[in-house]
Structure 1
Amino acid sequence: MDLSVVIVNYGTFELTKNTINSILDYSYPFSIEIIVVDNASVDDSLSKLKEYFKDKVKFIASKSNNGFAAGNNQALKIVDSKYILLLNSDTIVWQNTLEDIYNFMENNPDVGACGCQVLLEDNTIDKACKRSFPNVKNSFFRLFHIPTKSKDDNYNLDDLDDNGIYEIDCLTGAFIFTRKKVLDGIGLLDETFFMYGEDIDLCYRIKKAGWKIIYYGKDKITHFKGASSKKQRPKLIYEFYRAMYIYYMKHHSHESNFLVNIIVYFGIFLLCIIKLFLNIFKKKN
């Protein structure tokens, strides 16, 4: 198999169905398979997906929901394709996107992972699709909305052309097109991350291993990010800030002294508490 597309489903039949159909709507000059990992959905979305797609899609049913990284890893452990696409279940893949990025990877053997332009439902760009790695300094600038012309301090790379093609640090987990031999070399997703942060950690390890990460802005997907509700579940807020803590502790805590680390950990904890408090007063759509 040339390309394996891995999608994790958790109770999102309609979204997952639309994501899969956006791939199956087109033909490709390479072999492709779609693997859906159901993360122990509590509804009937898995049975409905199986009935709808029948033999067009492979399914893996998790016995328990151990997180997004763990769900993806169940498929990654069994794929034997040249390329792997990690794709969110709430996306729509545009025409030519897979073919163009496949050809780009074929022609650039030093590229370990590639992403595309990710558009939100309102057609604005999801800034997470082209980022620098987070660190103490750029996180400070971002938190307090301090403008900077320095690439090193610009987390979201707002100054770079959305339609361009260039090397970056970090892609979004909604769309990561990578090589199997890259994952064979660096390992799979870190299951310490339940949800959020595993994409940044993966990109960090890819670049540390000497591979390039490319933003391919000429092709697109649509990501229905946070479309279901303005009010988040406390569990998701907790996991978002927990991911910050895990990533910093794993990759950056050794670079700073004890006092800086304490300030960072306290800052993450305080932001989490504030976010949880403010979330109480948000209304559901």
Structure 2
Amino acid sequence: MTPLHRPLTVLLVSYNTRDLLTPCLDALKQALQPFPDARVVVVDNASRDGSAAYLRQHHPEVRLLESGTNVGFGRANNLALPEVADGDLLLLNTDAFVPAEAVSRALSCLQREADVGIVGVRLVGRDGSQQPSCRGFPSPLGEFLARTGLATWFPTVRQVDDRHWRPERSADCDWVPGCFYLIRREVLRQVGLFDPRFFLYYEEVDHCRRVRQAGWRVHYLAEVAVVHLGGESAKSDGEITSAGRQSRRLQLESALLYYRKHGGLTTVLGWSLLQVLWLVLVGAGALIRGRWSRASAAGAEWRLAMAILWATRAGGRALH
């Protein structure tokens, strides 16, 4: 069987990105020319910018599903699972623009490597700048060392982003970002898709971890470069972009959920202690230098982290 015969569904979640839909879908259409039977499904996640009406008018060829409320990224993808045929699934962000050969090469990787369950690609900005694309699982200690600048002194502690990473080399990794995320059909049957507890952030980290635990490889494909703008949905949402407060809340909540799920209460307590230590160091340094606003921000971050730690019962329950 050739890669051209692999059944494929492409799934996009749209949230207030109406102006990106046509350029994204036009690029995707070119990439799907070798796959005339591929289906494109768009879940509109309660956009307020008329995205759903725009899709109905300008892109009637896509299957449109509408969520009554913003259910988050992972749950929005899960909503479309009943629409996914018995084939491979490509998750694509609306702010990601695929070159003509992207889908063919990614599917060819699945065809060549029978134990690869997920394929990601090289992500670049509009200006060609390299974005993190081949990543490691986070840990409380790794996070602390990265934030304090001490990571170079502890090279054996694995970081989310390896400073020795070579973007031009394909390689297996722990996880790949979800903006171009090709999942083998057998993985969907065996592992499923995203854990609905994650409203935003850490969905693909958790999913890749479960996929690897099930015995599949996660592979970064360097030969395909996809332009990814990044953060377009967040920019459109005043609540999330207001000083980044809501975004930071969601990051902290998801981190706690992830650490509790995969490391237990001991890992969450270790994360909490390192958070306090980091913020004490930041606050003390700011006070010594007379940077009162920085010291105040560190205090606010500590209060936020402790509030979410308490509200989630140390990562034991989701808030959204």
Residue deviations 1:225-256 (CA, integer Å, cap 9, x gap): 136488654222211121111111111125x3
Partner of 1:281: none
Query: Once the two structures are superposed, what CA deviation does each residue of 1:96-152 show, in whole Å capped at 9, x if it has no partner?
Result: 11110111101111001010000123321211x211100122212221233438465
2:141 to 128, 137, 144: 137
Check the 8 A contact 1:244/1:268 in 2, yes or no: no
Alignment match, 2:191 = 186
Query: What are the residue-to-residue correspondences of 1:1-285 with 2, within 5 Å?
Result: 2-30=7-35, 31-54=37-60, 56-127=61-132, 129-148=133-152, 150=155, 152-226=157-231, 228=235, 233-253=244-264, 256=266, 260=270, 262-263=272-273, 273-274=300-301
Show the counterpart of 1:280: none
One-letter code aligned to 2:270? V
Change (3 A) 1:262 1:77: same
8 Å CA contact 2:141–2:271 kept in 1: the answer is no
Deviation at 1:275, TM superposition (A): 9.5
Please list every run of 5 or more consecutive structure 1 residues that lacks an aligned counterpart in the other structure. Answer: 278-285
Q: Distance in 2 between matches of 1:94 and 1:271?
A: 43
Does structure 2 conserve the Cα–Cα contact (< 8 Å) formed by 1:237 and 1:272?
Answer: no
Percentage of identical aligned residues: 26
Any conservation in 2 of the 1:237–1:275 contact (CA below 8 Å)?
A: no
With normalisation by structure 2, the TM-score equals: 0.78
3-state secondary structure, aligned to 1:25: helix
| 8 Å Cα contact 1:245-1:265 kept in structure 2 | no
Cα deviation, residue 63, structure 1: 1.5
Return the offset for 1:24: 0.8
Amino acid at match of 1:139: E
Q: Are 2:117 and 2:187, in contact at CA under 8 Å, matched by a contact in 1?
A: yes
What is the one-letter code of the residue matched to 1:252?
G
The size of the alignment, in residue pairs, is 274
More helix by share: 2
Native 8 Å contact 1:196 1:239 kept in 2: yes
CA shift, 1:262, in A, is 4.2
Identify unmatched segments of 5+ residues in structure 2. 1-5, 280-296, 305-320
SS at match of 1:5: strand
**Per the alignment, do residues 178 and 152 of structure 1 end up closer, same or farther by CA in structure 2, a change over 3 Å counting?**
farther
Pair 226,78 (structure 1): closer, same or farther in 2 beyond 3 Å: closer
Provide, for residues 73-101 of structure 1, a one-character-per-residue CA deviation record: whole Å limited to 9, x for no partner. 01123311421111111111122111101
CA contact (8 A) 1:169 1:213 kept: yes
| Cα deviation digits, residues 173-193 of structure 1 (max 9, x gap) | 111111122122112211111
> What's the TM-score, normalizing by structure 1?
0.86
Q: Partner amino acid for 2:95?
A: D
Equivalent residues of 1:151, 1:157 under 8 A apart: no
Give the alignment's Cα RMSD to 1 decimal.
2.7
